[in-house]
Structure 1
Amino acid sequence: MRTYISAKDYRSLLTLINQLYTLPDQETIIRAVIEELGKLVPFSSAIFIAMETSGLFRPDGHFSVAIPPKALSEFTNHYAAVHPFTLTGWIRHTNESARITDFVPAYRLQDTEYGRDFLPLTPCFYELGVIMGAQGDHVGALCLHRQKMDRDFSDREVQILNYLVPHMARAINCLQLLERLNAGGFSSETGVVRMLVDGGVTMNEAARKISLERLDRVTPNRFAESGASILESPQGRYRIQTTSSNQGSERILLFEPLPCTETLFQRLCRWDFTDRQAEIVLKVIRGASNREIAVALSVSEQTVKEHLRNIFEKVKVRRRSELISRILSDS
């Protein structure tokens, strides 16, 4: 049954959501969210863990409140793999909040390896978490905690996080795209269209070659939330992402080309990938998520992640977006 939140909750959320898109960097966004969430969803501790666009946890980019450093290190190095969120497969889903007790009853939690060996290192017992994603990329994991003496998170509090998280993910993703664009992280074949609030439009040479009047041919994959969108054009297939700059006065559309399979396989051969690695890289470039790749190849999502680790090491990149850019710009 759907849980509704109050008008007061909505007003608080709208104020925070509007603020998110004006903040200058990821850390400021995370601090603002955690501070305001503490008023709507009280917690004893909290953590945000940055993720590669592929869904792997990053060794940097952590932000925590009242989490002992030793516990954070132990979690990322070992216990993340045995967390009920991971073991049940929930971690595959983006922007869908869940409580740890949705998967393991509170009275059984201490019977699990996670509850028996890890929770005593922390002030945590009850957890409310979410994996955040936007435009086909993973952004990070956010988890709120309460002590055992407190009550569990309510359906209302789960719903509040569900309303907020897509916007938080979108705001962070836009900043990451803008940073990549300004750093020259896209190939010269990527179309860039800049739209000003006064109606003016500018585009680079690559964008002028694309039949943008065929935007009705866009194929969305949960476009409003976390999925990627593909434009079918006479010039080829393009992955579309959007961001903004100048405090929202300029909207930017990015059209990243997806080469034909034959050309792409020729490029992949230069990297000495195994057949399975080449297959996975091809699907990543096509905009498939880890879950979609696992289903298509009839393997576990963990196997896909292990292949991606090896691929990243071989190409010498750290993120999914860097992998795509490196392969597409290879000549």
Structure 2
Amino acid sequence: MKDPLNASKQQVLGLVNSLYALQGEELISDRVLASLQEFVPFDAGALYQIDRTTYEIAQGKCSGKDAGLIRAYLQKHASTDPCSLSTRCPTRLNQPSKLSSVLARHPDAALTVQRARTRFGFEHALTVVAGWRGGAIALLRLHRRASRSDFTDHELELIGGIAPHIAMSMVFNEANDSHSAAPQTGLLALTGDNQLVYANDSVQELLSEAAPEAIRYLAESKSVWRSQGDRVFRLRILPLGDRSLLSWIDREARALPHCIGQGKAAPVIVIAVEPIQRRQALATRLVHSRLSRREVEVALCVMRGLSNADIAAELSIDEKTVKDHLRRIYGKIDVRSRTAMISKVLGLEAELTAISASATSPRSPQQRTRSPSPELEQC
């Protein structure tokens, strides 16, 4: 007789191997949900993709005899469900959490959750955010009715093992490999009075160069940041809607002592600090601007700082041909100069903006020792 634990491990290996052979996220989602039903049975399951620009839960697939149940539940309760919120921290990728364990840690949420569970007819739930290289790629959610047993530690271990492969297979099946070389996005959250309440590892080093309020100013003015190490970052303010993976930040921050009493007039602002890829993704961006292969080569030479004469020598063409290529390039991407072309190809709407001397001046001792709230660091 086969050991059920070893049998499930073999099924997991078979599923993992099959994922990398599939083409397209929809096929991957179908395979994941169908295979999981064999060794982690569920009444309703869902695998939602995550928008890597906004961190919001996007379209997804539902499965199981009660597929409509999970779809309706998540639509109505995604923003308050403790099992989902407990796994939505960027530091908790590929770490499954089950509803019963969350409620044991947060008994104050039990009554609200019990009402929802009774209404929708389920008792047990398991959630995991599948991630790769610090990025959240997909949200997996499984439900069981009260007539079934709760998810076991072994089942959580199996889901935790397969989660990173769900993420990697989705990334590797994309049309380009720009995500494979992309460094992790920095995330920081500030209260209305610029108190730092969250910062992930990718932004900690940069916080030694500029005060949070300076970063906020650049984000709100849609500028970019050239760091002391001459790296360039795009700054974006992220929405915190009900379907955002980062919505827990606003909820937790409002509960901090210095935020109580400020009410809705002082929402938390979350800023993404994105390293601008100067080379890896440039060719892809240029192709998307309808440039020919030769025009892409010329544009990349310009991005490297080469003169027309240098470009002509490198590509074995004359300078007049280089100028002709540049005129066509400028026309296709709607610019008039080399500088404007570089700025637009890098994805910048303005020239690179250096932080002023006042913004980069050393912070006060209080600022240097300020750290995210312990509650938020443990998210």
TM-score bin (small chain): 0.5 to 0.7
Instruction: Give the structure-2-normalised TM-score.
Output: 0.47
The normalised TM-score by structure 1 is: 0.53
AA of the residue aligned to 1:90: T
Residue 29 (structure 1) aligns with? 28
- What is the match of residue 114 of structure 1? 113
Give the distance between the partners of 1:267 and 1:326, measured in 2 at CA.
18
> Is the contact made by 2:103 and 2:110 (CA closer than 8 Å) also made in structure 1?
no
Seen in structure 2, the aligned counterparts of structure 1 residues 68 and 97 have a Cα distance that, compared at 3 Å, is closer
How far apart in 2 are the matches of 1:143 and 1:75?
9
The amino acid that maps onto 1:169 is: A
Alpha-carbon contact 1:133-1:139 (below 8 Å) kept: yes
Q: 1:129 to 1:169 in 2, by over 3 A?
A: same
Q: Specify whether residues 49 and 283 from structure 1 end up closer, same or farther in structure 2 by C-alpha distance, changes over 3 A only.
A: same
Q: Please tell me the residue identity of whatever aligns with 2:113.
A: Y
Residues 51 and 141 of structure 1 are in contact (CA less than 8 Å); yes or no, is this contact kept in structure 2?
Answer: yes
Uncovered stretches (5+) of structure 2, i.e. residues with no partner: 187-199, 204-208, 225-232, 239-244, 256-263, 274-284, 286-342, 351-379
Any gaps of 5 or more consecutive residues in structure 1? Answer: 193-217, 222-226, 231-259, 274-278, 285-289, 312-321
Cα separation, 2, equivalents of 1:130 and 1:268: 31
The amino acid of 2:126's aligned partner reads: L
Q: CA deviation at 1:127?
A: 0.9
Q: Distance in 1 between matches of 2:161 and 2:52?
A: 22
> In 1, are the aligned partners of 2:73 and 2:120 still within 8 Å (CA)?
no
Decide which of 218, 222, 244 is 1:271's aligned counterpart: 222
SS of 2:57's equivalent in the other structure is coil
- Corresponding residue number in structure 2 for 1:144: 142
Aligned residue pair count: 230
Query: How much does 1:134 deviate?
Result: 1.0
User: Percent identity, aligned pairs only?
Assistant: 17
Contact 1:23 1:29 in 2 (8 A): yes
C-alpha distance in 2, partners of 1:79/1:94?
Answer: 21
Residues 159-308 of structure 1 mapped to structure 2, 5 A cutoff: 159-176=157-174, 178-179=175-176, 271=222, 281=235, 299=253, 307-308=269-270
Match of 2:88 in 1: 91
Spell out, residue by residue over 1:264-312, the C-alpha distance to the aligned partner (whole angstroms, 9 max, x if none): 9998576279xxxxx993799xxxxx88xx7xxx9579x9x9635999x
Deviation of residue 114 (structure 1)? Answer: 2.5
The answer to whether the aligner puts 1:128 opposite 2:126 as a matched pair is yes
Q: Does 1:329 align with 2:347?
A: yes
Which protein is bigger by CA-based radius of gyration? Answer: 2
Paired residues of 1:85 and 1:91 also in contact (CA < 8 A) = no
1:128 CA drift (Å): 1.5
Alpha-carbon distance in structure 2 between the residues aligned to 1:67 and 1:134? 30
